Structure 1
Amino acid sequence: MRKSNELLLIRYLSIIILIADVLIKGKSTNIASIVFLLAFIINNNLRIFFFKKEKSIVLSMVIELVSIVFAYLNFGGNILFYLIGVTIDVFSIKDIKIKIILAVVILIISTSSYLNGSIESGIINLIVIIIFSILLSYISRLYDTKKEAQRLYDKLRISEENLREANNNLEECLSSIEELTVLKERNRISREIHDSVGHALSTAMIQLSAMEALADKEGSILKDMLKNLRNFINESFQDVKKAVKELKSEEYNTYRGVIRIQEVCKNFKKMSGIDVDVIISKGTWALSPKQDTHLHRITQEILSNSLKHGKATKVKVIMNFTEEDFVISFKDNGIGTDSLSESGFGLKNIKERAYEIGGTVDIKSALGEGFFIKLVVPREREI
């Protein structure tokens, strides 16, 4: 509030009037009065722009109040213009007791007949100070309301940005999950076609070949018909193989390891009843068979520990591919611990498996805050 443009204008106008009053109508104009006025201005500006702690501000105000009495008695001037700055600053003090004490001191100084020369002047000063204080109180409330509104606006803006970011992440995750689901379904359908239709056509071809050989042996006229039928079925079989190959996207191999981890989480959720939330981002490279196996075992170990040791009811699993690394993190809402024990929570086994695939493990936990485990596995380049 002290730095508001309106109050700064009032403060500096009062200082200008005070300087003019002291230099023109003062009791004595000498070096001492000029030095005091400079010190008075400097003290005001230090309090406004440099002092941050309330103790420093209060000390500056106390010094100013003491010096005001001395300056008025020796240099003259209007006592009210001496008090304008310190009165404004009283409303910036948060400690109620100190604020009341300073306000009482200001009232005593402004109404003192010893300083004002008469009771009438003291009463006029009292009325002016009260009116000015009421205005300052109103301005202070407006300023606090403005600050609160700005705080709420900033909070709302930050929340909106976080919500927008979360929405973008959610859309990306949904896209990744949808893509994985489509890939899994296409792979399942291709496998079913290969195992059922492909097997049936293959069996029919074998039987037709046998019938064709038998017809040839007996000199039957069915030989050519059986041969044509076998060729037709063979062409159909090749078409089915081609369709299966096209249906089973090569992208499935990229996500094979991630899908396997997702299946582990899905099965664990069914068996344990723990809510396992899986978030996956798109990737452009595939985990190696060794990485796939170790991450599969690590995931089983971590989920098991969350249930057995952490007593968790919810686990969040996030998988993310970068250009050079695969990052997977686990966060549960279990009981947590303040002392990590590798042997007690199976963490040694997790670290060993991560080390074998060149990965790093970051484990954090606190009592009542569950476990957070993050694995970073580097991409294996083909040699």
Structure 2
Amino acid sequence: MLPLLLITRYILILIPAISSMYLESYASNGTYVFFILLFFWVAELRRTIFKKSIGMLLVEIGFSGWLCYTFDGLLFIIFYSTLLTYLPAFHRHIRLSFLGVQLIALNLSLQGQSSSYYVLANLLFFTLALLLRHMNQVAQNKVDIELLYDQLRRQHYELDEARMQLLDYARQVENIAQLDERNRISRDIHDDLGHQLIRLKMMMEAGLRIMPTHMSKGMEMLTSVRDQLTESMELLRSTVRKLKPDDDSMQSFTLDRLIEGLTKEKGIAIEVDIQGMPYVLYPSLAFILYRNAQEAITNAIRHGGATSVQIQLIYETKQITMSVSNNGQVPTGQTAKGLGMTGMEERSKLIGGQLLVTMDSRFTVTTVLPTFRQTH
């Protein structure tokens, strides 16, 4: 039982008990005080030992009815003290049953009293019952909200952990793919080029040995070695080319390619300001920066009528920040997020980044992404 309800319960016993001593004339005040103290004892037993006992609850209701009927005065108020104990504690059907029992006991104990007592006692009874019911619902709603909040927080932690595991898995897959490609190339060099070079060495040694006696045969063998060396050089060049992707695949999602295309197509002036020491980004990070810059510039031209765009890249140890601002018209008031802005935000949050929008003198979209660099 809450401390506030406990204090209220004993006040609802003490105040009517003291007031009735002055309002009524009893044959023996000692006997009256004894029964009031006995009622306190029953209430305390229910609070400490018989918390869920239906039998003790019935004893308290009957005892309070007998006190009210025997000593009159304001003792009908102690019914409300009992009401505080079972409305928050028992199930709905049990509460309704005891409400009916207590209401009957209350009205029976008021026999011989004036009609105003009946009206006042019943009105207070129903008012307090409704108030307690509302308090119980509020408390239950609070518990439900706290449980929901804990569940959402736990799911947030699980999603964050899953995202980190996914990023770690992506890095491992990338490293494994690179390792597999290196192993494949090393096998190609060993199996094809290595064996071919060994064969050519043996042919050259044989040609050198027979040239003093068979000049024409030796020259023929050296010519064959020359031709096969040409083939080996071509094989070596093709293997080296596999180690380095072509320029188109390397620059498909670079800001330079984006700026070049937009300048030709839209005729817009784009300035780039790079701060910090640039370093190589994961392809996924470069793709997100490319798409967000593309969307921000497209929105600036379409919605703001911009003619000039400034892109600022800040390379930091653990994150990279890209701000795209334009000289177009700045929206007034709160603007709803469109599909483009929502896509930019979702791409950024997917790898733990964030998207910020500021509308001061210029409309600026800032993308902040973690780089997951190993600096040691």
TM-score (norm 2): 0.49
TM value normalised by structure 1: 0.49
